[in-house]
Structures are given as C-alpha cells and as structure tokens.
A and B are shown apart, each in its own frame.
Chain A
C-alpha cells in the first residue's frame, strides 16, 4: 500500500485526519469532555433536589446570573436537567460510544485498511465537534440554555414567553442537533458501507464478531430514525422562527392569543419518539456488542448462542422502531394505539431476556479473567437486568398511566440505558486502550473505578424507583411545595450523596486515562489473548493497519478454549493454547464451531 506512505503533517495527522484510529480517539476525547459537563450538571441539580433551600458556593460560582445567593433559580434547574439529558444521550452515549468504537473496531475487526470513505469519516467527526461547540456556546446565552426537557416538547420549547430558555438557547440547541444528526448520518452510512464491502477474505457475515454486528445494526437504526428527528427539529424551527403552525394551536399566553392555528404537539411527540425510542438502542446495542466480545474473551469461552445473539440484536432493532408510542400513552393519542404499543413494547422483553441469559451462560464454567473491562461488562449485565425488568411495568400502558413521568421512569432508563451504556463504554476503553494508545491502563485504579461506580449506580437508582412509586414527579425544582412528599426528602439526600461520590469517582478514570496515555506500561500485541483481527496488527499505529497483505479469516471469533476433541473437556487445547486467532486455518478434520 505504497500510496498510504505520503508525508503527514501535524495537521493531517492529528487534526484533519482521515485515519479511523485517530478519528476514534477524537470522538472519545470529545465525548469525555462533554461527559464531564453532563455529569457535573447532574451533580449540581442533585444538590438542588436534596438541599433545596441551601446556599452553595459552587452554585454561585458556576451558575452566575442564574442563581440568587448560591441557590439556583427554577429556570436554570430545568435547563440543567435538559442539557444533562441532551449531552449524555447524544453527545456521550451516541457519538462518544458509537463514534469511538465503530470507528476503531469496524476496520480493525473486519480486516479493512480504513473506513470506506476516510474523508466522510473526517467530516462526520468535525460536524460532531461543531455541534458540540454550538451546544456548549448555548450554555452561555443570556436567558439561559434550552430548558424544556431533553424531549423539548412544544409549545414550551417554541415560545420564549413560556420559559426564558426557549429563546436563543433553544435555537442554538436545534442548530446543534441538526449538525449532530448530519454527523451521525454520515458516520452511520460509512459504517454500513464499510461492513458490507470491506470485509477481508473469509470474513463472512456469519463470522463477524458481535461487536461489529452491534455497530452495524446500530448504524442501520440510526439511518432509519435520525432523519425523522431532523425533520421534527426543522419543523419546530419553522414554528419558532417563521410563524408556521406545525405543532401549535389555540394558544393564549402573556395576555394575548397567538396566531397559531391547527397544529398539534402530539405530532411532535410522534416524530420525536420515532427517533427517541430507537435512540435508546442506538445507545445500548454498541455497549452490548462490546460486552459480548469482552465477556467471551475474558471468560475464555465462546459467547453462548452466537446466532441467537445476532438474531436478538436484529429483533431488538426491528421492534425498537415500532414501540415509540409507549412514551405517549397519556399524550391524548387514541387509546387503541396505546394497546398496540403496549403489545410491541413488551415483546422486546423476549430478545432482551435471551441476551441476558446468554451472557450468564457464557460466564458459567468459564475461567474468568476479572480485568476492569470484564468487571464493567459484568456490571453492564447486572444493570441491564435491573433496569430492563422495570420496563415490564412501564411498558404496560395500564400501569404506566399511574407512574408516567415519575422518578420510577428516571430510575428505569438510567439503569437500563444510561448506566449500562456507560459501563459498556468504560469496558470498551479499558479493553481497547492498548489498541488505541499502545499502552495499558492501570488495573488497580480500574478496580476502584468500577466498584465505586457500580455501588453508586445502585445507591442512586435503586431507591429512586421507590420515590417514584410514592408518586414524586420528575423535573420538579423542589419538592417542598407538597407536604405529601416530605418523607422523601431524606431518601433524596442519600441519593444525592451517592450521585456526588459516583460523579467524583469518575475522576479516577479520567486520571487513569490521561496518565496511562503517557506513562502506562507498554502494551504487547495481544494483551488479552483475544481471537479477533485487531490484535494481529502492530502495536504502533500504521496507516492501512496491516503491513503487507490483509489477513485472511478462517474461523469465527470465539474459538476460546477449544479442545482437540470438542466433546471432551479434559482433552488438550487446540493449538496448545486457550485461544485460536481468526486467521488460523482449520486443522484437518476440525469441526468449525
């Protein structure tokens, strides 16, 4: 590949790079930066919920004009909640997670020199960067950033008279999201094309590692659903700026009747959730893919039920596009639709259960190498189960109507998609750090990071289910207006303490990450004794990934602890070791797994 050996300047190597490995690092670091903002915001508003009348210097320092004597104003509370949701869902768990690992692993694990289009890949990152910049700028708008909740339902998001955040802050929010969606679409199309066209010799679809399956299906969901959000955002922009009435009708506010006629906020809800729900799986599936790979590698066992895992990813992806209405049981839509969406929603429990059971069976009788990445993967399975189960309550329209928009919902989705996905992301970083930076992360800090994180995750979100069942609505600036909720105040304090400790615990990770880039132990070529192709590349990054010819694939990715005699656990390992690289040809008479 001599054409790859052109001279690189600092700019083409580190900034406007078209190399997927560098782009993945750019996504990761940008995602981490946004993550710090998002988590920090959640810590601020948790302090407000726990101690609503208490003055904090830190709030005075950070919220400037949006606080009085160290107590935040109601408007900025809603803004913090909104931006926390937006940043975590889109910027950290969509771009940060998919962007990082799809970019890093798709070419490396399918045996490609790079993405199908390096240029579009670069554009995808820079659009993401631009949208991040716009989102961060929106935080400094005088009237405050968008504050209508991350779902930005109109009319609240359309009318600056209704809430100050719906002024310039909301315009910037919409612009930022439009750019973000463009970035996401370009990225997704690139992933799909790459997986279809650039697999190396022998890498049949049925031999793809589950990571690639997950990224591939995720990209498809993104391409199907993100454009709908773009149209929703554009129509909202029209309503706000050009006086159209897509979502607005019959409004009397600030003493006057507005001109809007004939629109419906319910239309917006449909459009939003047509992305909004698949988005949950856009966030979660890559994390599950990463987990599949890491659990298998570290259990020294093949992933249990490879075909079932692939099929359940597909089933989840398909169902995810026809369940959006379960966010709208009480929106005023026809109750018959509610019935349909209850049915489709609860069906998702089946492929999800298959995945959970398959993970547990993979652990069973394994030889578990409890690296930090493995612990985070196990943690993911745990929080995925805990959060997933309560979905059976919320997906049932008859039950949802009693607890919709309470803290029960907040607890549910934070566990099942927030914590699970972020655990998947951490697992991925610990596991593939050697591939990204050629060095290893410190395991002791990794262990501390994991245990503090999971303890705090349960400390925050388990009790939160119960304050939801007590009827406490989410997005309340303070619960003091209702004596009914006075007995929840102490629980809220405990939750906040866990949240703050959990938030600070992430400093361990950030420290570990940045110190390891420069001072971590040098990585060997295949530190985790893994089967997949990325570990056959040299530790030092080269353009084109493999020197000389591309590797040839002869088997699936999960021949861990394969024996000479497949039915005899006491027989010797095939090839004398407990892993067989995908590039190793089948022996004479060996049954492919």
Chain B
C-alpha cells in the first residue's frame, strides 16, 4: 500500500514537472473547439468515474455499516434515514448526470449558437415547490421522531443510570432500589468517591457505581450524563443515541434496548461484519473480535480521546435483576 502511495506521489510530481517544462508552449491559453471536445469527453469519463465510485461504495460498503438499530426508538431513525437516503441518492444520480452530460453535450464549437434563455417562471416555480413539498414530509417525520426520542416523561419504571465522564474514562451509577439518583457535585470528589456523590443525600445510599453498563432488554433506560472536566459525548452508535456530557449541568437521553448482546451477535449483518473484521485481525495475528455494544467518546476531549470507551451488555431482564442485585451499594462501599 505504501509503495503504491510513493508511486502516486512520484507520478504527481512527475506530471507537474513535465508540465512545467512545457510551460514555454504558451501559444494557447483560451479553450479552442478542440479543447472543448476533449474536455467534454473527459467530463463523460468523469461521470462514469463518479457513478462507478458511488455504486461501488453503495454496494460493497454495505457490510461495514452499523447493523439495524438495537433500540426500539431507533427503528424510526433507520426508517427516516432510509427514506432520506433513497431520496437524496436518486437526486444525486440524476443531478450529476445532468451536470456532466450537459457539459459533454453542449461543449462549445464555432458552429453552435447558445440559446438565449434568461427566465422561466414556470420552471422556477416547479423547482421551488417540489423541494418544498418533499421537505414538508421529511421535516414532519423528523420532528415527530425527534419528539419521540427526546421525550422521556412517559417512561414507566425506567432504569435510571448516570453516565459519568472524565479524562479519559467512563463510569456509571445505577439509581438502586428507590430508582432515584443521589445528587452529585465535583466538590464531593474524595478518595473512593470518584463520581462526587453527595453521601448526605438519602437517595445516594442505595446507588451502585460500576465500570460497565448492563441493560435489561425491553425496558426503557433513562440516562443522565455528567462530566467532571471537559465536554465529552456519550455516543452509542448501535442504539442511535448520543448526548454531550457537560460540566456544570446534567443532560438526559433514553432508549429501550431491543436485542440482547447475544441476539445481536446472531444477526446476519453482525455476523458478516464480524467475519470481515476477524479476517483482517487474523492476518495481523490479533485475537478474534466478538461483537459488543459500546459507548464511545465523540467530543474531542484530549490526548486519549481516541480510546475512551465503555462496554455495554444488554441481557434478559431476569439476568439483569440478578446482576444488579450483586453490585454493592455506595453505602457499603463508601461509608
């Protein structure tokens, strides 16, 4: 690969110097009919090139895409995305065709006379109204879905979790029996109390601090995000979820996991992607990879931003209950 790259550089430099040496040939500086013909053809070739690269990516990069949404709320995201993507895909293919085909078709020559065509209210009306109508649909669906994912008020018996960020690690705190998180503030950070939980708040006592997220399938999870130093962003791509963690304030997001980690591993899209990854890893002599949900940092936060992550495991509700019961409460850990 690297050799290829050096060759490319050599070619680019070679071409430029070859052209510089030809610089003395300054006879023609304005496009002639011959140039128009040549460049017209080039634009057709280029049209073929971008069609090629567009189609290639659309087909062969399908396998690297994220699998279908692992949260129930994300289903409509996928839907809306598909609708939007089909729409812009079709427009893209059509527009690029028009641009480069017209460049070829109407390439200049001495015999051609341009059409004097300065205005058409009818045409302009068409291409003002058409996008407007299409947008009404996209905006409508988008806003409905936005309201859907951002409105956490009607969640019944949600799992309440605080996701806590600092340079460069994630921690989490489950709300415990009372399903209410105790207050937190950086002033309480001391020793083992790394999340700055106010232990005088009675809601804090049954909270449980963990370093990995376990989520029950089919139950709404309500996240509250905090940061102790700089902005971080909790990005959970498989759940179509992302929210900034802002020092000095608490942000919120929620979703309902749809598949357990095990179920996700059995999905054909995931199997295919994992196989692709493992082929590459094997060639490099690395351990095989197994699918896991992840929480990544997605807001530039410093030197190790690129590795800041936390594993998420989605399990059946019964298993979740068992796991959460095993975790010690803050009262036992800190006091």
Contacts and interface: CB of A to CB of B under 8 A. Distances in A.
Given A154-B230, A490-B280, A560-B116, 5 more contacts: A156-B230, A265-B247, A332-B243, A393-B81, A560-B114
Interface stretch (B4-12, B209-217, B257-265, B323-331): B4-12
A263 B27 CA distance: 65
Given A382-B100, A478-B306, A389 B113 contact: no
10 contacts: A149-B300, A156-B301, A346-B138, A365-B106, A365-B115, A399-B81, A442-B19, A471-B235, A481-B306, A569-B115
Interface stretch (A119-127, A235-243, A247-255): A247-255
Interface stretch (A212-220, A279-287, A443-451, A541-549): A443-451
Interface bin, chain A: 35 or more
B273 to A, nearest CB: 7
Interface in A204-226: none
Contact of B99 (A308, A381, A396): A381
A448 B14 CA distance: 12
Contacts of A527: 29-30
A248 B289 contact: no
Nearest to A335: B150
Contacts of B8: 497, 500-501
A452 B273 CA distance: 33
A463 B57 contact: yes
A357 interface: yes
Contact of B124 (A308, A367, A386, A463): A308
Contacts of A470: 61, 64-66
B92 A515 contact: no
Contacts of B96: 382, 385-386
Interface string B22-38: 11111111110001100
Interface string A291-327: 0000000111111111110000000000000000000
A274 to B, nearest CB: 18
Interface string A548-583: 000000000010111100100100010000100000
A300 B9 contact: no
Given A361-B123, A367-B112, A389-B88, A378 B138 contact: no
Interface in B30-71: 30-31, 35-36, 39-40, 42-43, 46, 49-50, 53-54, 57, 61, 63-66
Interface of B: 1-2, 4-5, 8-9, 12-13, 15-16, 19-20, 22-31, 35-36, 39-40, 42-43, 46, 49-50, 53-54, 57, 61, 63-66, 74, 76-77, 80-81, 84-85, 87-88, 91-92, 95-96, 98-100, 102-103, 106-109, 112-120, 123-124, 127-128, 131-132, 135, 138-139, 142-143, 145-151, 166-167, 185-187, 189, 196, 225, 228-231, 233, 235, 237-238, 240-244, 246-249, 251, 273, 276-277, 280-281, 286, 289, 294, 296-307, 309
Ranked 8 nearest A-B pairs via Cβ: A249-B248, A471-B237, A481-B307, A440-B29, A335-B150, A332-B251, A370-B39, A483-B289
Contacts of A368: 36, 40, 102-103, 106-108
Contacts of B108: 298, 300, 366-370
A393 B84 contact: yes
B186 A257 contact: yes
Nearest to A471: B237
B202 to A, nearest CB: 22
Interface stretch (A129-137, A177-185, A336-344): A336-344
A580 B130 CA distance: 35
Given A153-B231, A389-B92, A500-B5, A350 B128 contact: yes
A288 B139 CA distance: 26
B257 to A, nearest CB: 15
A566 B118 CA distance: 11
Given A481-B309, A482-B309, A504-B9, A385 B95 contact: yes
B131 A353 contact: yes
B237 A402 contact: yes
Interface string A433-471: 000000011111101100110110011001101110111
Interface in A506-532: 507-508, 511-512, 515, 519-521, 527-528
Contacts of B166: 252
B29 A521 contact: yes
Contacts of A248: 247-248
A74 B167 CA distance: 14
A507 B50 CA distance: 24
A563 B114 CA distance: 10
A521 B28 CA distance: 8
Contact of A339 (B65, B123, B143): B143
